[in-house]
Chains A and B, each alone.
Chain A
Amino acid sequence: MTIQTHLDQLRRTTAGCQLTAFGDLSSKLILRSSAAAPCPREVLDNLSTKAATCFSVLDADTAVDLAENGHYGQSAIMFTPSQSFVFARPDIAADDVTCAVIDNAQDVEQALHAVRDTVRKIGEDNR
């Protein structure tokens, strides 16, 4: 499956999901996206900035302490009263990031699992 197909599937199967995207953290660029309606470039640029901001909060000392558990630094969620932005990547050093924008009051944990699952599938397809 292509990355685009994975993004489409993630958006359709995740409750309250309006937009999914795949991007590069180092360049802060969204490379692929899936949305029900045409999505302005500014929205995608803003999404990549949010992803970079989220992961920039990570602490180097904590990363060392928790390195063996394989969870720290792989995913992050930014939330406001109106939306949640779920981000996940294959590992703490990876620049590839998968994003999902979720309506407020939806199940954030379910969305997090879905985005992580998509990251895993994209990784397997690109081996």
Chain B
Amino acid sequence: MTSAILPSQDNTTETVNLKEVLHRFSTKSEWLAAERQTLPEAPRAQLEILLREISETVLPRCIELTAKGATLATLTVSSRRLYAIVGPDQDSSFTTDADAREFATQLLDLSKRATALTTRTIDDPSQVSDTGNSCSVAALRSALVIDDRPCDIAHLADLLEPTALAQMTWSGDLTKHVFSGDEVWKHMLQAHTESAISKLSDPNKMKFPTSQDATGVAIPISRDAVLILAVKDTLGVASVSPVKEGLKAISAWQISDT
């Protein structure tokens, strides 16, 4: 007979996490609703909370996102999938029939504005199936370039995001990018990104120095703004940032790698 001692610290962590999940699955949604959560300030941390909420919701529920007491949007969630995002007063600007990229773009925007969330039961489960397409958390993570693996592109995106005037991220297909920020910069970000990617993928053109490491280019576009573009494998981020903050983010990202 053989035996193995599992690391106690990891074991404890797993037990606590499992308890949390079991508690959430076994708790009536009205009680969960009573446990109103205050969201953290950092947008990416808020996104993580939202994605966790979707990932842990099996029975049909609505997740209501609020800021200063006003409802921003209601997410319809069931079977650990996102079915719809509806604005206040059934605002048509939100979508009920979208792909992962559109959902991801809206979640990213909401995560920057929402300060609290509450959940409530959907009494009639047929309401969920009637709302159209649904999207898994894995697909949302992919669209948002949030990877479970350590990934330096995602980290650079995190560092750039708080001060970026505009930012786009993509995973795999560049045309299915997620854009956030001022639309004024969208065309320029796309043009530069396509130019850079074509040089990466065309063996007859000049390549970036290595495909092993994340590699980026920063191009000052005015006295105050810099365009930053970085890729690794199929993941990428492009942003227009204030010069000082953007270049500081690059240094901070390099520090984190040492």
Contact = CB atoms under 8 A, between A and B. Distances in A.
Interface of A: 46, 49-50, 52-54, 56-59, 61-62, 65-66, 69, 71-82, 84, 104-109, 112
Given A59-B195, A84-B250, A108-B218, 8 more contacts: A53-B199, A56-B199, A57-B196, A58-B192, A61-B191, A77-B218, A79-B230, A79-B250
A108 to B, nearest CB: 4
Interface of B: 152, 188, 191-192, 195-196, 199, 205-210, 213-223, 229-230, 243-244, 247-248, 250-251, 253-255, 257-258
A49 B199 CA distance: 12
A53 B206 contact: yes
User: Which of B192, B208, B253 gathers most chain A CB within 10 Å?
Assistant: B208
How would you classify the secondary structure of chain B's contact residues: helix, strand, loop or mixed? mixed
Given A52-B206, A59-B192, A109-B248, A69 B222 contact: yes
How would you classify the secondary structure of chain A's contact residues: helix, strand, loop or mixed? mixed
Contacts of B258: 81, 104-105
Contacts, number: 110
Contact of A78 (B217, B220, B248): B217
Nearest to B187: A61
B220 A75 contact: yes
Contacts of B243: 109
Contacts of B152: 81
Contacts of A69: 221-223
B156 to A, nearest CB: 10
10 contacts: A56-B195, A62-B188, A74-B220, A76-B217, A80-B215, A81-B213, A105-B255, A105-B258, A107-B251, A108-B251
Contact of B219 (A65, A72, A106, A108): A72
Contacts of A76: 217-220
B191 A62 contact: yes
B216 A66 contact: no
A86 B52 CA distance: 41
Contacts of B214: 80-81
B56 to A, nearest CB: 34
Contact of A46 (B209, B217, B229, B244): B209
B257 A49 contact: no
A108 B247 CA distance: 6
A66 B221 CA distance: 7
Contacts of A59: 188, 191-192, 195
